Structure 1
Amino acid sequence: MRTPRTGLAERRRLQGLSQEALAERLGVARTTITRWELGEVEPLAWVRPALANALSVSLDDLALLLTPAIRDAHATSDHAPTPGISTNALYPLDDDELLDVAERRSWLASLDVSSGKIDYLQPAVEWIIEQDERVPAADLQAKARDLRSYLHPLLRSPHRPATAARLFAVAANLSGAQAALSLDQGHLPSARAYAAEAFELAEATADPDLMAWARAAQSLVEYYAGHYREALALADDGLARAPRGPHAVRLSVNGRARALARKGDKVGVDHAVGHAWAIRTEHPDPETPLTASLTPTVYCEPRAAGNAATAYLALGDAGRVEQYANLALDTFDTEGFTGPQAMTRLDVATALLDPAGGDVERAASLVADAYRIGGAGSFPVRQRVAEFVDAAASWVALPAIRDVRELVTRHTIEEGVHVDI
C-alpha cells in the first residue's frame, strides 16, 4: 500500500471523513482523492474552494497541505515530471475545455434528489403498507395521495441511475399500496390502474423481486374482479421473474392456487399450495407473527394458510378449509386484523354449508362473528358475505339463516354498503 505524501489524508481523517465520503461531497471519484493524497496530481483550481471547505481550512492552508508534499513527491519519484514542465502539460487542456468539464460536472451533481427526501418517502410508504387492514382504507388512501403529490414531481426530474432506481422503487410500492386500498373500497377500475402503474414503475428498476411483488398486486385485483384467467397469468408471470424469491409464496398461494381453484383444477391447487410451503422454508421467518398483506418480505404462515383455505373452499373441500383456517385464525385474532379475521370465518362458514355433513347453525354463528369483529366493511369481505348468502339459499327457511340475512340487510342499510342477498 502506497504511503500518502501530502497532509491531506491526515486532515481528512481529523474531519472524520473517509475517501468515499469526501469524494461524494466534492463530486469526484474516490481514486482522485487517492491521487491527491499521494501527491500524484494537484486539485484543479475550480475544486479547491470546495475541498478547503470540506477540510475546514483556508485556501492558503490548503496550499500548505499540498505544496511541500508535492515537491517532495517530485524529488523522490522515479516518474517525476521533467523540470519546467507542469503536470497539466502532459495532458493539455485549455481554459475553455476546463470550463466545459466543470460545467458538465456541475450539471451531473445537480441531477440527484437528496437522499434525505428519499429517506423520508420510503418509510412513509412502508408505514402505509404496514397499516393496511389496521386503518380504514379511505384514510390511508388520503395519506397515499398526499405522498404521491410530493413524490411525482421528483420522478419527473432527471436523476443518476442509482437515485432513479430508489425513487422508482418507492413509487412502485406506493402504487401497489394504492391498488390494494382502492380494491378494499370496491373501486376496481382504480385498483387495476394503480396495480398496472406499480408494475411499470417496478419494471423501470429492473428488480425482478419488485416486479414479482407488483404482479401479485395485479393478480389480486383481477381475482376479485372475477377474471381468474388473467389473475392466473399475472401470477405465473410474477413467478417466472423471481421463481424462488420472497414473493413466490404469495404468488403461488394467493395468485395461482385461488385462481386455479376457481377453474376447478384440484391437482393444480395442491401443487401451488405445496410449492408455497416449500418456498417458505427457503427464506427466513418474518420478524412479525403476521406480515402485512402487501409485505415486501416473504408471506407468513397464517397469511399463506388463509389463502389456501380460500382456494380449497372454491373446490368444495370443507376438511382442507378448516385445516388451513385453523393455522391462521389464532394469529389473525391475536394481531387484530379484522379483515382476515372476518374473511377466514366466512370461508369456514361457507364450507360448513356442505349438504353432505355441514353445520348450518355453526356457519350462521361464524358469519355473525365476522360482523361482530367489525371486518365486514371492505369489498373482499362483502364479496364473501354475498357468496355465503348465495350458498345458504337452500336453508333460507331455517331461523339461523334468516337471522343472517337480516343481519346483512341491516348492516347494508346502516353502513351504506351493498351486498346482494
Structure 2
Amino acid sequence: MSRAEVVEAVNLHLWETTGTHSGFTVSTYAKYERGIARWPGREYRDALRAVLGVQQDADLGFYPTPRGRSAPEPPQRAPVPSGVVLEGDELAEIAERRRWLASTSVDQAKLAFLSDMVRWIIDQDEKSPTHVLASHANDLRRYVHPLLTRAHKPATGTRLFTVATQLSGAQAAIALDQGRVPVARAYAAEAFDLAEAVGDPEVVSWARATQSLVEYYDDRIFDALAYAQDGLDRAPDGVHTVRLTVNGVARALARMGDTDGVERAVDHAWTVVEDQPGAAEPLTPSLTTGMYCRARTAGNAATAFLTVGDVARVEHYANIALPMFDRTETPGPWAMTRLDLATGFLQPGFRDIDRATSLVREAVEVAGVLPFPAQQRAAQFLQAAQPWQALPEVRDVRELVTDRSRNQTEGMNGVAGTGELPGAVGRVQPA
C-alpha cells in the first residue's frame, strides 16, 4: 500500500468504527514511518494495527516515550555543500508531492457511490416517509461535508460540490414536506451557495428552482418568482427550463393574478417539454436533475390555472397528469393533483360536490399522511367548501383531512422507520 492508501484506509476504519471524521494525513503517517513520532494516540494505533494486519504496537515500531524524555532524534546526514542537491532527496521530494496529490482527491468509485445515494434520495421524495429520508440524508451529509474541506483536483471538486448541492436541495424538500419551512429555506440557500462554488449555470438554476419552491409554499410569492426568473436567466435554454417556468414562474404569477402571464408561461413550458423525445415517460422526480416530464408539467399547469379560476384547463391538464401518477403509484402528485381537481369542481359552472369530496377521499387515503404542501391544497379545498360545510360528505372529508394532517405532524417527531438505502451499501430499499 502507498502512504495515501494507508491513510485512506485508516480514516475509513475510524469512520466505520467510531463514527468520527479523522484528521489523519499523509504527512502524519510519514512521521510515523520515519520514526519522528513514536507513540500516536490510541485510536490511530488501533486503526493502523487493523489496517496493516498486526497484533502489537511494537510490530509497527511504536513505543511509548518515557515521561520527561524526548524521542530519539532521527539520524543526521553529513553536511551537504551549499547549492548541491542530492538526487535521492530530490526523488523523495517528488515522490512525496505525488503521494500528497493522490491523497487529496476522493476516488471515482466513492464519488459514484455518493452520487447514487443522492439520486436515490431525490427519487424517493414523495414515495418514502419523510422521517426515513431525513435520517438517511442527514447521515450522508455528515459524511460528505468533511470531504468538501479537503483539497481536490478540479474535476473531482466540481463533482463533489455538485453532489453536495443536490443533497442540500433534497434536504430542503424533505424539510418542506415536514412543514419545517425555516429549515427548508436554510437548506435551499446552502444548495445555492454550493452551486455557486461549482460555477455551472445548470447546477445554479437547479438550486434556484429549489429556493423558488420553498418560497412559494411559504407565501413569499415575489421571492418565489424572483428565484425562478434568476434560474432561467442563468441558463435560458437549460435542462431546468420547464421546471423553472411551470413550477416557479407560472404558479407565482397565478398567485399574483396575472392570467396572461400564466398562459404564456404554461404554453412555453408545454412547448419545450413536447419537443423533448421521451417526455411522456418515465415520471421524473419532483427534484429531478434533468428535464421535467410531461406529467409533472401538466400537474403544475393544473395548479396554476386553478389559482386563476380556469377550471376547464385544470381538468384538461389534470387528466393528462393523473394516468401517469396513478400508474407509477406516486402518492405526492397523485394526492395534490386530485385535490386541485376537487377544488375546481366546487366552482360555478363545474360544481359537483359528490365528485369533489370523492377525489379528496382518494387523495388522502392514497397519501396516507399529508405532507405540508398537500395540507395546503387540502386547506384550500376546505375553504372553498365552506358554503357546503353542513353536508355530511363535506363534514366527513374535513375530519379525514384534519386527522391525516395531525398524523403528519406527529410523524415528524417519530423515530426513523425501516426504510433503507439501496443495495450499494448492503441494505434494502423501502417499499
TM-score tier (shorter): 0.7 to 0.9
* Equivalence for 1:392: 385
- 1:136 matches 2:125: no
Residue 367 of structure 1 aligns to a residue whose secondary structure is: helix
* Equivalence for 1:9: none
| Within-5 A mapping of 1:215-230 | 215-230=208-223
Deviation string for 1:367-403 (max 9, x for gaps)? 1111221354200111111111111112223332222
* Equivalence for 2:258: 265
* Equivalence for 2:169: 176
Residue of structure 2 aligned with 1:190, choices 176, 180, 183: 183
Aligned mates of 1:137, 1:101 — CA distance in 2: 50
* Equivalence for 1:155: 148
Aligned mates of 2:343, 2:280 — CA distance in 1: 33
Deviation string for 1:190-227 (max 9, x for gaps)? 11111111111111111111111111111000000111
- Answer yes or no: is the 8 Å Cα contact 1:222–1:228 preserved in 2: yes
Unmatched tracts of structure 2, length 5 or more: 1-83, 412-431
Deviation string for 1:23-51 (max 9, x for gaps)? xxxxxxxxxxxxxxxxxxxxxxxxxxxxx
Residue 365 of structure 1 deviates from its aligned partner by 1.3
Aligned mates of 1:371, 1:170 — CA distance in 2: 34
- Answer yes or no: is the 8 Å Cα contact 1:290–1:335 preserved in 2: yes
Aligned mates of 1:375, 1:368 — CA distance in 2: 11
Runs of 4+ residues over 6 Å off in structure 1: none
* Equivalence for 2:361: 368
Residue 417 of structure 1 deviates from its aligned partner by 6.1
Residue 109 of structure 1 deviates from its aligned partner by 3.0
Cα distance change on mapping 1:105 and 1:325 into 2, 3 Å: same
Residue 355 of structure 1 deviates from its aligned partner by 3.0
Residue 416 of structure 1 deviates from its aligned partner by 5.0
Aligned mates of 1:107, 1:413 — CA distance in 2: 54
Unmatched tracts of structure 1, length 5 or more: 1-91
- Answer yes or no: is the 8 Å Cα contact 1:144–1:174 preserved in 2: yes
* Equivalence for 1:113: 106
Aligned mates of 1:413, 1:205 — CA distance in 2: 40
TM-score, length basis structure 1: 0.74
For the aligned residue pairs, the C-alpha RMSD in angstroms reads 2.2
Residue 365 of structure 2 aligns to a residue whose secondary structure is: helix
Residue 150 of structure 1 deviates from its aligned partner by 1.1
Aligned identity (percent) is 56
Question: 1:294 is matched by which residue type in structure 2?
Answer: L
TM-score, length basis structure 2: 0.72
- Answer yes or no: is the 8 Å Cα contact 1:342–1:375 preserved in 2: no
Cα distance change on mapping 1:417 and 1:320 into 2, 3 Å: farther
Who wins on radius of gyration, i.e. which is larger? 1
Aligned mates of 1:139, 1:107 — CA distance in 2: 38
Question: 1:326 is matched by which residue type in structure 2?
Answer: N
Residue 238 of structure 1 aligns to a residue whose secondary structure is: helix
Aligned mates of 1:203, 1:214 — CA distance in 2: 9
- 1:298 matches 2:291: yes
* Equivalence for 1:353: 346
